[in-house]
Amino acid sequence: MDPLTVGDVAKMKMAQLLRGAPEARAVLQRHGVDPLQRCHSAALNHMTLKQVLGRTCPVDDVEATLADLLELLGG
């Protein structure tokens, strides 16, 4: 299996990320988002991380947030 890329992480759903790596919540909190408090269920289950972090639960730097999540996931 090929290693994950930032693009792979950006395409993940928030719920998928949190199920696979619960510690991702702490990474998101460092970037100013608590997905379990600010994101509605549609954002968690139906939108990609790139969409969520860019619109529903905006962060200052989407690319830096995705890079930190990629590092957490071992990519």
CA gap 58, 21 in Å, rounded? 20
CA gap 1, 37 in Å, rounded? 34
CA gap 5, 36 in Å, rounded? 24
Predicted pLDDT of residue 52: 83
Residue 60 located in a structural domain: yes
Residue 36 located in a structural domain: yes
Contact of 68 with 17, CB cutoff 8 Å: no
Q: Report helix, strand or coil for 22.
A: coil
Residue 1 located in a structural domain: no
pLDDT band at 1 (very low <50, low <70, confident <90, very high): low
* pLDDT above 80 (res 16): yes
Residue 26 located in a structural domain: yes
- The whole domain housing 62 covers 6-72
Report pLDDT digits (tens) over 20-65: 999 999 999 998 888 777 666 767 888 888 888 887 777 788 889 9
CATH number at residue 38: 1.10.3910
Contact of 35 with 57, CB cutoff 8 Å: yes
Residue 51 located in a structural domain: yes
Predicted pLDDT of residue 6: 94
Predicted pLDDT of residue 67: 95
